[in-house]
Amino acid sequence: MNAPLFNTINTFTQLTEHAKTASAWQMRDLFASQANRFGELSVSAAGLFLDYSKNRLNRETLSLLLALARECRVEEKREAMFAGEIFNNTEHRAVLHTALRAPRNDTVLFEGKNVMPEIHAVLDQMEAFTRRVHSGEWKGCTGQRITDVVKIGIGGSDLGPRMVCQALRPYLRDDIRVHFVSNVDGHDMDAALKPLKRETTLFIVASKTFTTLETMLNAHTARNWFLQGGSESDLPKHFVAISTNAEAVTAFGIHPDNMFPFWDWVGGRYSVWSAIGLSVALAIGYDHFTEFLAGAHAMDVHFRQARPEINMPMLLALVGIWNRNFLGYPSVSIAPYLQDLGNFPSYLQQLEMESNGKHVTRSGAAVTWHTSPVVWGNVGTNGQHAYFQLLHQGTDITPIDFITTLKPSHKLPGHHAALLANCFAQSEALMLGKTADEARADMQAQKMAPADIEQLIPHRSFPGNRPSNTILLNSLRPESLGALVALYEHKTFVQGAIWDVNSFDQWGVELGKVLAKTILEEFEANTSHPHDGSTTGLIGLAKAALE
């Protein structure tokens, strides 16, 4: 869909000039001059609450950003995506992950065909399988029920389910344990296999083509491990596949009835809602999995129907555009103040950087503006004692997304109040900072010597004026987690639409895979291929060590 290039539209110029003025603003002053700033710069949707008031922006900024979105035709592009048009133009695919969580009676057309019956047929297959495993009807080769599930995948096939299973820890079933193996490093598989018993372990191999190098190496290692104490005829009881390659799945030893399909219009990092989420359904139960889907669908409905000025994904994306492209901040830190969201920053790294880490437009022209910032982070309060020093006093300004819940999933007294106090205090401290006069007054109150005070003032002053968003969930439940993930999916879409990049391909990932195959051949067949001097030297050292 043609639209004016990001930096050629009139609003871009206006925002660039506006940013020159905004760079001198102090958020302290913005709060002082805008009595209801918190109320005006916050929004609720699908059970989530977003406070974006601690950003260096005002009503004029928002008005210009919303105009920017209109000029970039974000709403038209959004409708094209939901309508099943070929939105991934470099791979000629539609982008219909939102259909995966839509109700059964919805109609979503792709090439003139309603895909919803096909989607729900797979969901029904997942439900039937999950209930068979949980009831003990599905048994291993010795007639024992399954107690452990190992999900083998990589990238989106791993990060999404892994993140969700950790996030929904309070919902994990007591009768089954789910493990994840993604790394081609054998230490990952070795650690996963050590505590397992062959007769009670089920492997889920997730690879659309059933040829992904890392996944299939791990899958064959698991197969060989199983065959050390079992027979090939027992493989169908202990291996299932998430794939579209029935021939390869059957050759591996998996019965075609135990192959769960998905579609080309499901990108890996958007696939947890599909059969890729089978491990999630096994871990938390199918009913909770459907709640997870429903929460995402609620955010889909909000994103598609809410006016831009109250549209949570739109606003989160536009604030990010303002910080990245007009204020010049190169990275974003994700700080979930919730231990169970420990994998969420890693999940968002792939979602945002693989989607929008692009240097050409959808038409292939070189971009002349910044695209995805670097995404990084860790759980609070751990991050406070690790890298928050840089956030408070470092030379780069890093916007932060604080994410937490109003209610905990545990009943331990005192902990959650302390967690929330730290979360809210950090966003306040980053915004306010501490002036030299305030630092001096603090030290004078401590009866410090005047000479020591003057020496320490530069070290104990904080510039402040550092932006953040705060996202609140009432509690971390399947539906609220679904809404949170969908929020960031749609944020990523909006930013990609404004930057005019294809958010749904990942050719940079493919390049490394191709080169890795060539080097692997050199290890296995003792051949040689031309490389640069460094790579040739490294391969030589590795060959010598592996002999």
Judging by beta carbons within 10 Å of its beta carbon (0-12, 13-18, 19+), is residue 462 exposed, middle or buried? middle
In sequence order, what E strands does 200-305 have? 201-206, 239-242, 259-260
Burial of 388 (0-12, 13-18, 19+ CB in 10 A): buried
pLDDT, residue 1, reads: 60
Give me the long-range contacts of 170-175 (CB less than 8 A, separation at least 24). Answer: 170/340, 170/409, 170/410, 170/476, 171/284, 171/285, 171/288, 171/478, 172/283, 172/284, 173/134, 173/283, 173/284, 173/285, 175/134, 175/145, 175/147
pLDDT above 90 for 7: no
**CA gap 180, 155 in Å, rounded:** 12
Q: Which of 113, 147, 121 is nearest to 133 (CA)?
A: 147
pLDDT category at 75 given cuts 50, 70, 90 is very high
- Closest Cα partner for 69 from 491, 503, 399? 491
User: Which is it for strands 201-206 and 48-51: parallel, antiparallel or unpaired?
Assistant: unpaired
H or E segment at 424?
helix 415-432
Question: Are 352 and 396 within 8 A, CB to CB?
Answer: no
CB-based burial, 294-329: b 16+ in 10 Å, e otherwise: bbbbbbbebbbebebeebbbbbbbbbbbbbbbbbeb
Percentage of the chain exceeding pLDDT 90:
90
Catalytic residue among 291, 354, 479, 489: 354
Tokens representing residue 50 in the block: 């977003």
Beta-carbon contacts of residue 464 (< 8 Å; ≥ 6 apart)? 26, 27, 28, 429, 430, 431, 432, 433, 434
Q: Are the C-beta atoms of residues 167 and 344 closer than 8 Å to each other?
A: yes
SS3 332: strand
Which pLDDT band holds residue 320 (cuts at 50, 70, 90)?
A: very high
User: 6-85+296-426+466-499 is classed in which CATH architecture?
Assistant: 3-Layer(aba) Sandwich (3.40)
Check whether 521 has a pLDDT greater than 90.
no
How many angstroms from the chain centroid is the CA of residue 422? 24
- Nearest to residue 387, comparing CAs of 335, 338, 327, 433? 335
pLDDT of 291 reads 98
Q: What is the mean pLDDT of residues 232-242?
A: 96
- The answer to whether the beta carbons of residues 357 and 508 sit under 8 Å apart is yes
- Give the C-alpha distances (Å, rounded to integers) separating 450 from 444, 458, 516: 8, 14, 63
372-414 pLDDT per residue, tens: 999 999 999 999 999 999 999 999 999 999 999 999 999 999 9
CA pair distance 59, 76, nearest whole angstrom: 24
Calpha distance 382→401 (Å, rounded): 15
State both tokens at 395.
């030379």
Confidence of residue 119 (pLDDT cuts 50, 70, 90): very high
Give the mean model confidence (pLDDT) for residues 350-362: 96
> What dotted CATH number matches 115-284?
3.40.50.10490
Mean pLDDT score of the chain, rounded to an integer?
95
CA distance 430 to 23: 16
pLDDT the model gives residue 107: 96
Instruction: Provide the 10 A C-beta neighbour count for residue 15.
Output: 21
**CA 373/CA 379 separation, integer angstroms:** 19
- String of b and e for 43-64 (b: at least 16 CB within 10 Å)? bebbbbebbbbbbbbbeebbeb
CB atoms within 10 A of CB 13: 11
DSSP 34: -
Catalytic residue, chosen from 113, 415, 513, 543, is: 513
All structural domains of the chain with their residue ranges? 6-85+296-426+466-499, 115-284, 507-546
Cα-atom radius of gyration of the chain, to the nearest Å? Answer: 25
Place of tokens 């993930």: 485
Q: Mean pLDDT throughout 114-128?
A: 97
pLDDT in tens, 156-212: 999 999 999 999 999 999 999 999 999 999 999 999 999 999 999 999 999 988 988
> Which range has the top average pLDDT, 41-50, 521-530, 534-543?
41-50
CA distance 456 to 348: 39
Residues present in the chain in total: 547
Confidence check: pLDDT of 2 > 70: no
Residue 513 among the catalytic residues: yes
329-349 per-position pLDDT tens digit: 999 999 999 999 999 999 999
Q: Encode pLDDT of 433-490 as tens digits.
A: 999 999 999 999 999 999 999 999 999 999 999 999 999 999 999 999 999 999 999 9
Single-letter amino acid code for the residue at 191? A
Tokens standing for residue 148: 């452990």
Of 92, 187, 359, 385, which is the active-site residue?
A: 385
pLDDT, tens only, 122-140 = 999 999 999 999 999 999 9
Q: Are 273 and 296 in contact (CB under 8 A)?
A: yes
pLDDT confidence of residue 127: 98
